[in-house]
Amino acid sequence: MASGRRISEGKTKPSGASAYDIILASIEEGELRPGSWLREADLAARLGLSRTPVREALKQLEAEGVIEHRPHQGSVVAQLDYGATVELYFLREILEGAAARLAAIHATDTEIEILRQMVEEDRNLLDQPEELTRRNKLFHQRVYRASRNRFLIRALDNMRTTMVLGTTLERGARTTTATAIEDHGNLIDAIASRNPDAAEEVARSHVRGAFKVRLARQAF
């Protein structure tokens, strides 16, 4: 996932992998919004790179559905229409539900303890939305990895990359709410109880709640 550095921070000659991270972070943070043109020469100049690593980064982002290439025009940050948003959240509900179910079976006591501690700490951070956003990603990634299914983890990581297209539109309201934190707590309780059915339902309900918020905030 993105490193948090933004394109405008200047020319440090990052590697090709870093070029990917910086461009993705700039999309997530709203510096590059859906519909923004991405010109290799301009990006290379701003990053202090040759065009080759920038081109590689753009190709990877295109493969992940984050940008679109338009023949004879160039690359543009993708825009999720209503149909794509519905499809994305439908898939997210299935995948996150599966990850929670498997985590209830495979998570170690240490993993559960760490996740529970994260939830307790998050309850004291409601006035720090940027930090909560970062921690929210980390929380979900740890649940994914507790599933012990490498193919599911890969699919979830790819899906969450595409989700950055929505966070750009919700920049002003991108916080982890008290309700979401309570959902996380309920999820950990279900995982700790080794109850796969309950864990899956909590995870699915959590995604459905996020989808409702997204639809309420975004104009299509």
Taking only the tens of pLDDT, the chain with its 220 residues reads: 444 455 654 444 445 458 999 999 888 888 898 899 999 999 999 888 889 999 999 999 999 889 998 888 889 999 889 999 999 999 999 999 999 999 999 999 999 999 999 999 999 999 998 899 889 999 999 999 999 999 999 999 989 888 888 765 444 444 458 999 999 999 999 999 999 999 999 999 999 999 998 888 877 7
Give the domain range for residue 149: 82-217
Final residue in a domain of this structure, among 57, 77, 97 = 77
**97 in the same domain as 66:** no
Whether 105 and 197 share a structural domain: yes
The pLDDT, as a whole number, for residue 1 is 43
**Does one domain contain both 193 and 179?**
yes
200 and 101 in contact (C-beta within 8 Å)? yes
Q: Residue 171: what pLDDT? A: 46
pLDDT at 109: 98
**Whether residue 64 is found in the same domain as residue 91:** no
The answer to the question of residue 193 being in a domain is yes
Establish if 154 belongs to a structural domain: yes
* Domain contains 2: no
Residues 67 and 134 in one domain: no
In a domain, 1, yes or no: no
pLDDT recorded at residue 219: 72
Q: What is the CATH number of the domain that holds 41?
A: 1.10.10.10
The predicted pLDDT at position 117 comes to 98
Report if residue 11 sits inside a domain: yes
- Same domain, residue pair 44 and 149: no
Give a yes or no: residue 54 inside a domain.
Answer: yes
Same domain, 138 and 171: yes
- Among candidate residues 61, 77, 93, the one where a domain is terminated: 77
Asked which of 77, 95, 126 is the last residue of a domain, the reply is 77
| Same-domain pairing of 44 and 91 | no
**∠ CA 30-55-58, rounded to 5°:** 40
CATH of the domain at 105: 1.20.120.530
Same domain, yes or no: 68 and 101: no
Q: Same structural domain for residues 96 and 57?
A: no
**What was the pLDDT predicted at 6?**
55
> In the 3-class helix/strand/coil scheme, how is the chain assigned residue by residue?
CCCCCCHHHCCCCCCHHHHHHHHHHHHHCCCCCCCCEECHHHHHHHHCCCHHHHHHHHHHHHHCCCEEEECCCEEEECCCCHHHHHHHHHHHHHHHHHHHHHHHHHCCHHHHHHHHHHHHHHCCCCCCHHHHHHHHHHHHHHHHHHCCCHHHHHHHHHHHHHCHHHHHHCHHHCCCCHHHHHHHHHHHHHHHCCCHHHHHHHHHHHHHHHHHHHHHHCCC
Give how many domains the chain has, as a whole number: 2
Say yes or no: 61 and 46 in one domain.
yes
- The per-residue pLDDT for 176 is 59
Give yes or no: residues 153 and 44 share one domain.
Answer: no
